[in-house]
Chains A and B, each alone.
Chain A
Amino acid sequence: MRLLLVEDDPTLRAQLRTGLEEADYTVDEADNGRDALFMGQTESFDAVILDLGLPMMDGLSVLKRWRDEGQTMPVLILTARDNWHEKVEGIDAGADDYLTKPFHMEELLARIRALIRRASGLASPVLQCGDLMLDTRAGRVTLQGQTVTLTSHEYKVLDYLMHRPGTVVSRTELTQHIYAQDFDRDSNTIEVFVGRLRKKLPSVQIDTVRGLGYRLTPP
């Protein structure tokens, strides 16, 4: 899952990035409103963490522009201002959740997980496909009750597919959501990760739809 982290304080940004990456998210960063607007317009993100007090263009304006242009990715507003007036403003501008500083990393992670899950139309934090279970809270994968150990990239691919069971996901889409923008992307590596997943999860059906991409088919 790929996140856009927009925060102008460099220390806090670095800390958040570390925390998010430890939870197996791919993180792109922006430290001002204008860059954030552009990245949101051109790249595909699974969720955005948006600080409101930003240089160049404030967070609310960025958010309104995105929504006006039809961008639907879930957005979590992160702000020091905790009065209800601004919360109403933020939600009415199109935000999906609101977190006030200071906060605990666990709280942020829980909210991001919930946002992504809701955006996929899933109700439970534990994703299930046949006898394969993925607990998004703990980042744990079990097959027939047995814990399966996955690398970070393998987990990201499986996580993305399990959020969209039955739909065809293109290689480009997978690449975009697994690597950050500045990463040297090679879609062939996706093939390698899918191959490894098929090996580690023999009873799970990951189809290759030629010319289109991959599909996780529920039994």
Chain B
Amino acid sequence: MKAAWAQSLRFRLLAATVAGLSVALLLAGVALGSLFRAHVLKQFESNLTQQLDQLTARLEFDAAGQPLIDARTLSDPRWQKPYSGLYWQIDEMTQDGQGRTGVLRSRSLWDARLDLSADALGDGAIHVHETPGPQHSRLLLLERTVQASADDQADDKPTPQRWRLIVAADLQDTHQAVTEFNQVLALSLALLLLLLSLAAWVQVRMGLKPLRALQHSLQTVREARSPRLQGQFPSEVRPLVDDFNAVLDRNQEVVARSRTQAGNLAHALKTPLSVLDQAAARPTSPADASLARLMREQLAVARRHIDWHLARARLAATQRLPGQRTEVASTLAGLVRVMGKVHADKGLQIQMAPADAALCFAGEEQDLQEMLGNLLDNACKWARTRVTVQATPIPGSHPALLSIHIEDDGPGIQTDHLQAVMARGVRLDESVPGTGLGLAIVKELADLYGGQLVLAPTAKGGLGATLTLPAAG
């Protein structure tokens, strides 16, 4: 498995860019360095050539045909200073190669001598060598062979004398200049690499910004703060966002359709059931009476089955879709209005503790209504005078949870019956109308959302129901 940072798009882009830049700058550095070195050497060599030309021009021969240089005519003071790094020397060349070296030398050579193997040189041609010099130096050495012209020659010498003129200079300064240049070059290129890498980092950051925005947007959907991906995305990311939104929309559509179909089935079945029920309620003869009783019993069973399975169908259609949020306070307010009407005869006081308007349930409105509606209806059915409702966020919970507490001042339920009452179809008191499905449906829905329903007797003997549900951020 690769390390996490290696999987990062930003790291990959940055690594590739920096690697590419490093190679390019290294090549540029090598090329520039060698170019500079070549240029400096060429300059050095051309200076030496001038010195050689000057030496050649000052060369004279005495009557004996021996070479003669008037050192005073050579302008450069370094010729005079011992081991100054600039030297000249004149060798005698013979046919057999046994000529004398150092016939004449610059004062700077002192007691050293430049040893050079015999070299067959054409007239006037210049050869360049790199040789070790005095005091462990490296010298660049230029040589040229000249022939004393006929009128300079003594007549007794049958063959004209050949002389080798040598000029040499210490390479140390040049090498040092090249090294210094290379150092400055390396430093500059390193700085350039740094700046370019920084630019690349900025570029990657800017370029990947939409991805961060997308990630942020996805998070808002996951945390149920938004039903769709929101925001402006560049054209490269837009198709992805559009497709994702289409999937979200489709999910919601499927849920809505399943619900509608479940509702349609309810409508289709319940009207005929009502007709049968009304018919069975008024038997026309005593003979019909027992049949009517049987019908009413069976109709009641059928009704409970339908209610239960419709509720199940709705549950099955309930998916925890991301991005859903339902305001708890407004949902509660709507249901309290319903209770006020439906239970108007009891003259109940329904107290709703002011809930935070921003408190939101991370789920579908209809599911919240179903849970709270059943709990409130139950409380109103049993309450004597008062029902209290309180919705609060649970601080410090992760993922965020909220709790809704509904309490009545009715007769309550014995502790050992509290579990049974949440089972489907259990009705502890058959005298109050109802199917006995309400609490079971609430429990199932709460479970589906990862919440829970807890029933407990209140201090005054009534029933308190606490519903814990996921909260939307």
Quick one: which of A88, A105, A107 contacts B335, CB cutoff 8 A?
Answer: A88
* B residues less than 8 Å from A107 (CB atoms): 433
Quick one: which of A84, A87, A114 contacts B345, CB cutoff 8 A?
Answer: A114
* B residues less than 8 Å from A85 (CB atoms): 365-366, 369-370
**Nearest CB of chain A from residue B329's CB, rounded to whole Å:** 14
| B281 and A105 form a contact (CB under 8 A) | yes
Return the CB mask of B316-346 against A: 1 if under 8 Å, else 0: 0000000000000000001101100110110
Within 8 A of A (CB), among B343-399: 344-345, 347, 365-366, 369-370, 372-374
**B270 at interface, CB cutoff 8 A:** yes
| A12 and B274 form a contact (CB under 8 A) | yes
Quick one: which of A87, A91, A101 contacts B271, CB cutoff 8 A?
Answer: A101
**Nearest CB of chain B from residue A19's CB, rounded to whole Å:** 7
* A residues less than 8 Å from B338 (CB atoms): 84, 87-88, 91, 98
Segment among A63-71, A75-83, A144-152, A204-212 that sits at the interface with chain B: A75-83
**B279 at interface, CB cutoff 8 A:** yes
| B273 and A91 form a contact (CB under 8 A) | no
Using CB atoms, name the residue of chain B closest to A22.
B282
**A118 at interface, CB cutoff 8 A:** yes
In this complex, the member of A15, A84, A123 whose beta carbon has the largest number of chain B beta carbons within 10 angstroms is A84
Cα–Cα distance between A102 and B345 once the two chains are bound (Å): 22
**Nearest CB of chain A from residue B388's CB, rounded to whole Å:** 19
**B134 at interface, CB cutoff 8 A:** no
Cα–Cα distance between A114 and B342 once the two chains are bound (Å): 10
Known: A105-B281, A114-B344, A118-B344. A84 touches B337 (CB 8 A): no
Per DSSP, chain B at the interface is helix
**B71 at interface, CB cutoff 8 A:** no
**Nearest CB of chain A from residue B135's CB, rounded to whole Å:** 104
**A53 at interface, CB cutoff 8 A:** yes
| A98 and B274 form a contact (CB under 8 A) | no
Using CB atoms, name the residue of chain B closest to A100.
B270
**A9 at interface, CB cutoff 8 A:** yes
Quick one: which of A9, A88, A103 contacts B369, CB cutoff 8 A?
Answer: A88
Known: A85-B369, A92-B334. A103 touches B274 (CB 8 A): yes
* B residues less than 8 Å from A98 (CB atoms): 338, 341-342
Return the CB mask of A82-125 against B: 1 if under 8 Å, else 0: 11110110011001111011111101000000100010000100
**B15 at interface, CB cutoff 8 A:** no
| B341 and A95 form a contact (CB under 8 A) | yes
Residues of A within 8 A of B (CB): 9, 11-12, 15-16, 18-19, 53, 79-85, 87-88, 91-92, 95-98, 100-105, 107, 114, 118, 123
4 residue pairs, one from A and one from B, having the closest CB atoms: A84-B373, A80-B270, A15-B278, A80-B267
